[in-house]
């Protein structure tokens, strides 16, 4: 009987425990009060990403991993994600200084890059130190981007689940199983975060969840890119493009308009659509569709040459930039400021 249950036990732990712990966090009532960059008007419980971390950690405890190197990376990344989640939780509760958060996230990013990577193969070989710094910059940028995208119900999960499943499809064996567990843990949280049972979700990930989950995703992605075939690194930003692209292109738009880059705003494309009156569910479905397309593109070319991977990534950037600019033009045409 135990042999029959073994393949399903980790998956059940990941989904069910994530949903249960998310429910506990919601009932604890640590509230996210609306501010200048919020897309919600009523105080909403936050910290639900703790459920994702808990469900995933519990699933790992019963998931056999035969690769010693992967096991060591998982332990390191899980510790670092817990640390990032703890920093986020403290910020949710007490509002930490921006300088302290910046230094902490830089340190965690460097540690993740060192533990899970670094990536030095881009189709050509980079010096190790350049690879380390570049990998750390990727982690730092992605962690902050994912944190920014927690402002609308279901958007973060809608983008990260296809990305995580893409890693599973491009990997194999133990690594693929681990990525599936992370996707299931996110889906458990999505029961409360996404507008599934009502027009609005009832729980935000909060900094505790978005920072911790982002470190997990980055760690797995870096390990896959650093151990994969030549040019695999180009597929990592591709599967995360709907998240990274929205944040980076929005910052570029605000910079051109002379806005302060790090002041509160509601200028991300997903926020502009919500300001225009679109439902959170509709916006989440759009980001899920974009992320699924990006994931399928990456999976289709992951066994091709480094050049094909790079061209696919470049094509994805052009396509998403076109979409992003179209959203901004559409919103401007209706009289809204797209830079604040």
Query: Would you call 306 exposed, middle or buried from its count of C-beta atoms within 10 A (0-12, 13-18, 19+)?
Result: middle
Q: d(Cα 115, Cα 178) in Å, to the nearest integer?
A: 17
Average pLDDT in the 213-230 region?
A: 94
Instruction: Name the average pLDDT for the chain.
Output: 89
Q: d(Cα 222, Cα 235) in Å, to the nearest integer?
A: 11
98-116 pLDDT, tens digit each: 888 899 999 999 999 999 9
Run of H or E residues at 279: none
What residues does each domain of the chain span? 2-332
Q: d(Cα 76, Cα 94) in Å, to the nearest integer?
A: 27
pLDDT of the residue at 37 = 60
110-161 pLDDT, tens digit each: 999 999 989 998 877 889 999 999 999 999 999 989 888 877 889 999 999 9
Cis ω for the linkage preceding 145 (within 30 of 0): no
Positive/negative CA dihedral, 213, 226, 300, 317: positive
Ramachandran quadrant class, 123 (left: phi over 0; alpha: psi -120 to 50; beta: rest): left
pLDDT of the residue at 99 = 87
Buried b or exposed e, range 156-166, using 16+ CB within 10 angstroms: bbbbbbbbbbb
Average pLDDT in the 49-58 region?
A: 91
DSSP string computed for 41-82: SS-EE--THHHHHHHHHHHHHTS----HHHHHHHHHHHHHHH
Q: At what angle do helices 128-148 and 206-227 cross, to 10 degrees?
A: 150
């Amino acid at each position: 009987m135990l042999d029959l249950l073994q393949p399903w036990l980790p998956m059940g732990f990941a989904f069910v425990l994530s949903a249960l712990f998310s429910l506990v966090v919601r009932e604890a009532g640590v509230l996210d009060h609306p501010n200048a960059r919020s897309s919600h008007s009523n105080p909403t419980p936050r910290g639900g990403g703790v459920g994702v971390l808990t469900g995933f950690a519990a699933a790992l405890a019963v998931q056999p991993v035969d690769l010693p190197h992967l096991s060591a990376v998982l332990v390191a990344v899980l510790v670092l994600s817990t640390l990032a989640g703890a920093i986020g939780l403290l910020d949710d509760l007490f509002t930490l200084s921006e300088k302290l958060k910046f230094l902490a996230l830089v340190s965690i990013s460097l540690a993740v890059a060192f533990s899970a990577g670094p990536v030095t193969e881009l189709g050509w070989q980079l010096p190790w130190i350049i690879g380390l710094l570049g990998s750390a910059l990727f982690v730092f940028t992605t962690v902050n981007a994912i944190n920014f995208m927690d402002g609308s119900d279901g958007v973060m999960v809608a983008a990260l689940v296809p990305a995580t499943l893409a890693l599973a499809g491009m990997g194999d064996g133990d690594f693929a199983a681990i990525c599936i567990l992370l996707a299931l843990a996110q889906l458990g949280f999505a029961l409360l975060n996404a507008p599934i049972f009502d027009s609005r979700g009832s729980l935000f990930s909060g900094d505790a969840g978005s920072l911790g989950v982002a470190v997990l995703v980055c760690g797995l992605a870096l390990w896959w890119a650093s151990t994969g075939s030549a040019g695999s690194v180009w597929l990592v930003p591709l599967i995360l493009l709907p998240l990274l692209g929205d944040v980076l292109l929005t910052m570029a738009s605000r910079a051109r308009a002379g806005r302060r880059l790090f002041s509160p705003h509601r200028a991300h494309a997903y926020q502009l659509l919500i300001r225009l009156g679109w439902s959170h569910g509709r916006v989440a479905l759009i980001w899920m569709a974009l992320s699924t397309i990006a994931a399928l593109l990456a999976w289709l070319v992951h066994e091709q040459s480094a050049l094909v991977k790079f061209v696919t990534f470049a094509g994805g950037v052009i396509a998403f930039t076109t979409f992003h600019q179209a959203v901004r033009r559409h919103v401007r045409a209706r009289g809204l400021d797209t830079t604040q």
